[in-house]
Chains A and B, each alone.
Chain A
Amino acid sequence: MNKKMWIVSLVIALLSLAGCSQENSNSAASTTTKQLIYGMNSEIEKINPVLDESQEIDTLLFRGLTKPNAENEVTPDLAESWKVSDDQLTYLFALRQDATWQDGEPVTARDVKFTFDQIRNPKTNTPISGEFNEIASVEVIGDYEIEMTLHRPFPPLLDKLKVGIVPEHLLQGEDLNTTEFNQNPVGNGPFKLKKWDADHTIILERNEGYYGTAPKLDEVVFKSVPDANTRILQLKTGEIDLALVEPNQLASSKKGDPYSVHEIPTADYRAVMYNFDLPLFQDKRIRQAMNYAVNRDELVKGILAGKGEAAYGPLQKSWAGTSKTEGYTYNPQKAEQLLAEAGWVKDQQGVLTKDGQRFEFELVSPIQDTVRVALANVVSEQLKPFGIVAKPKPVDQHAIKYDGEEALIIGWGSEFDPDDHTYRLFHSDEIGDGQYNFGSYQNTKVDELLLKARTTVNQDERKAYYHQFQDELTTDPPYNFLVYLQALYGVNENVSGISMRTLGHHGFGVLWNIEEWDKKVK
């Protein structure tokens, strides 16, 4: 009996080995194809730029009116040129006339109108509708001419218009949330869908009818690899060419591995947001003191494994940013001095008190985000010697009330126009339901400068306003800016083209210049 069983298992083992060798010979045919395999942490459920905010595959299939360049400046894409009215409320776009959908139909102004109407349609379940709130109307002027009217001036509009345009002739009358188009997309971009496998792997092939620069790659494969450790192993075996890498995985890369890790800057920062409804935070000397009390280099080293940098303001990665020397550096003496000036003295337990009130507040972080939880813990530790009790309170992210917590680790930062994540965060008009000034920060000088910067056309003048704005943020801080994150991408050595453009949150946008990517094949 035993012997027989051994024989059976041996046969099975042999059979499976036979299976291996058979498969190897099959895949040999594809080695001449220039194929980039991207290992993603999530699965692609649907491909429709109207329904998603940050999905890399969308930009390969669907192009928008504009696109960013290496410096994150707006450049023409489907829109050849545009004219902005003096009051900055009307945008007139001229579309290029050689762009076609992958079924041969031309891309026209009607598609553009349809796309933005769908994004703003209340029946559409999309997380991006908020980005286009300022659009009042979109009107077709001619086949290749379109006019957009805004409620108020909104400089980041042009950046936002990189959102992919969808074909009206295929989607008219369809329910955008459930249409089969989302699994069988017809786009206008450099690649088109070749195959959507049962195991959720998506293979794109070059779109020969693309109006722009023809991509060098033949195929781009989006493969879902949900486990971070598995992704590293697949980079090592060469099963995937590109993947996000976690800072704690850097140590596992060895010499001789077929991939290298690229550290790409992002505009994504983390900060402590103060809630100004709390009387404790009213005195700006208190907030200045906390700024001096936090050792940001330690945060970068300890929490981000050195992969990031100290944050001093919201525009550090922008052309409108000031140099970081003007921001806060770790200075315990100054912190103590400011706290004393504000009238806070340590009691017997070493906690600051003033008029019988202890310097105590809750510091909330979303429990799902380990980096934010760690930041809350370390910041709390760093403030302790000064007699400040910041109680870290990790909360399920769905239970966080963004405008209701005492203090909170927040993440913002836009790689686009400096107006994008400043006006909406720090202007006093933006306080209230659904708007992003969660902490109710109010500063008339900041309001004035942001409005001027928003409504001025001349770039040098805008820059000057933003510099003054950042100075004012330093004297009257709305946040305690902590760190900027870096995106770490593992890239196979045979692959070239990855750029150092400052990316968005979670390293989004790495494939922005996919036309220039290339792969050496043996």
Chain B
Amino acid sequence: MGRFIIKRIVESLFVLIIGSMLCFAFIRTLPGDPAAAMYGDQLQKLSDADRLRIIENLGLDESLPMQYVKWLGQVFQGEWGQSTISGVDAATVVAGSLQPTFLLLLSSQFLILLLAVVFGVSTGLKHRSLYDHVVTIISFIFLSIPPFWFALMLMIFFSVYLGILPTSGMGNGQIRYILLPSLVLALAHAGYFLRLIRNHIIITKNSGFIFALKARGFSEWSILKKHLLPNASIPLLSYTGISLAVSLASSVVVETIFSWPGLGRLALKSALAHDYPVLLAIIMLSMVFVILVNLLVDLLCAWIDPRLRNQVLEEGK
């Protein structure tokens, strides 16, 4: 097991180094630079001389490989550089938006699992019933409506019409602020999870061992609890790991509409302002996060499923 983990960590380091090189080069190919961003809509006032001066002040006039080596050296010492728009340490800026995003992802993931298990299991058991069709259609609708539109509709209903929830912001972290954004994020993704569970329940419930169990007189409830759900949990877990990257990406839209001060919004803002230090810190952090969660998911799966456990042990040898 230990060797498995070490092997994965070494692999991850390679991914991180190569990923950081690509990102470092890639974000520089975007048109514009921090000096232009500083002028905003007054860009026409930026003279070439001023642009060079500011670029030089920010240390962006050296060759790209040289800048990369310097940046990497700093990162190994725990220095992420300073934001070009606020002058604050990039690490501090990113740390500030970590908690809001974590809260949002956690609560939406909770909602996703809740919805997926409840409706996935019930539709799987009542395969091809009217109820199954209705839930399927509704889940497809939520999958296909654009989150920014859905978010506005929710705001109009709950905040303007009913007046019971705030439209946006984070307040002081009260639950009522997180309800709408996490609901939008959850409903946009719950459909995939729901289908996943439903299909697994359908396949498993028609397999021989379930018939055998039923024939022996085990109750539906205990079959569900002891056999159907555990079987469905493996694909669910691995899909959670994969979907995390997708959730992080869609949080950009949701966080912007709901003025949620998280990582997604910070990423968008930093990209628009060419705030390279902050942008790189976010990208690296997201990469580490996704890698870690996937590692964790693999370990969890191995812990749950003996077949996978043996596979993991084999791989470690």
Contacts and interface: CB of A to CB of B under 8 A. Distances in A.
A200 B171 CA distance: 11
Contact of B164 (A20, A230, A396, A400): A20
Nearest to B261: A199
A43 interface: yes
A227 to B, nearest CB: 5
Interface string B68-100: 000000000000001111111000000010011
A410 B83 contact: no
Contacts of B35: 125
Contacts of A279: none
Contacts of A505: 41-42
A436 B45 contact: yes
Contacts of A396: 31-32
Contacts of B87: 46, 177-179, 182
Contacts of B166: 237, 239
A141 B42 CA distance: 35
Contacts of A125: 35, 38, 54, 57-58, 84
B265 A226 contact: yes
A125 B51 CA distance: 10
Interface in A414-467: 433-436, 438
B257 interface: yes
B152 interface: yes
Contact of A433 (B48, B121, B167, B259): B48
A6 B87 CA distance: 49
Nearest to A434: B47
Given A9-B114, A178-B82, A236 B256 contact: no
A53 B42 contact: yes
Given A179-B87, A199-B100, A397-B43, A2 B259 contact: no
Given A9-B114, A434-B49, A20 B176 contact: yes
Contacts of A355: none
A183 interface: yes
Interface in A172-230: 177-179, 182-183, 198-201, 223-227, 229-230
A436 B39 contact: no
B170 interface: yes
A505 B44 CA distance: 13
B170 A199 contact: yes
A113 to B, nearest CB: 22
Given A45-B85, A46-B87, A229-B152, A399 B31 contact: yes
Nearest to B53: A122
A234 B258 CA distance: 11
Contacts of B121: 1-2
Contact of A9 (B118, B148, B258): B118
Nearest to B88: A183
Given A1-B224, A237-B163, A410-B44, A227 B31 contact: no
Contacts of B176: 16, 19-20, 23
A82 interface: no
A237 B155 CA distance: 10
A226 B259 contact: yes
A127 interface: yes
A127 B42 contact: yes
A251 interface: no
B188 interface: no
A233 interface: yes
A253 interface: no
Contacts of A16: 175-176, 179
Contact of B41 (A183, A226, A369, A398): A369
A130 interface: yes
Contacts of B265: 226
A130 B152 contact: no
Contacts of A2: 118, 121-122
B167 A123 contact: no
Interface string B252-269: 000011111100010001
B36 interface: yes
A237 B259 contact: no
A23 B174 contact: yes
A144 interface: no
B155 A506 contact: no
B259 A123 contact: no
Interface string A1-28: 1100110110000011001101100000
Nearest to A48: B87
Interface in B21-62: 31-33, 35-36, 38-50, 53-54, 57-58
Contacts of B57: 122-123, 125, 177
Most buried by A among B121, B160, B175, B260: B175
A223 B167 CA distance: 13
B241 interface: no
A505 B43 CA distance: 13
Contact of A5 (B36, B45, B86, B118): B118
B165 interface: yes
A236 B160 contact: yes
B12 interface: no
A129 interface: yes
A402 interface: yes
Contacts of B96: 198
B159 interface: yes
Contact of A198 (B36, B50, B165, B261): B261
B156 interface: yes
Contacts of B204: none
A127 B224 CA distance: 65
A130 B259 contact: no
A1 B221 contact: yes
Interface in A112-142: 122-123, 125-127, 129-130
B168 A230 contact: yes
Given A43-B269, A129-B50, A183-B86, A230 B175 contact: no
22 contacts: A1-B225, A2-B121, A6-B118, A16-B179, A19-B176, A122-B57, A123-B57, A127-B46, A178-B87, A179-B87, A199-B260, A224-B259, A225-B168, A225-B169, A226-B256, A230-B167, A233-B152, A233-B156, A233-B159, A233-B167, A434-B47, A438-B44
Given A125-B84, A229-B257, A233-B155, 12 more contacts: A1-B224, A5-B114, A19-B176, A20-B165, A127-B38, A183-B88, A227-B256, A230-B167, A230-B168, A237-B163, A239-B169, A369-B41
Interface of B: 31-33, 35-36, 38-50, 53-54, 57-58, 82-88, 96, 99-100, 114, 117-118, 121-122, 148, 152, 155-156, 159-160, 163-171, 174-176, 179, 221, 224-225, 256-261, 265, 269
Closest 7 CB pairs of A and B: A434-B47, A178-B87, A45-B86, A398-B32, A19-B175, A199-B261, A398-B31
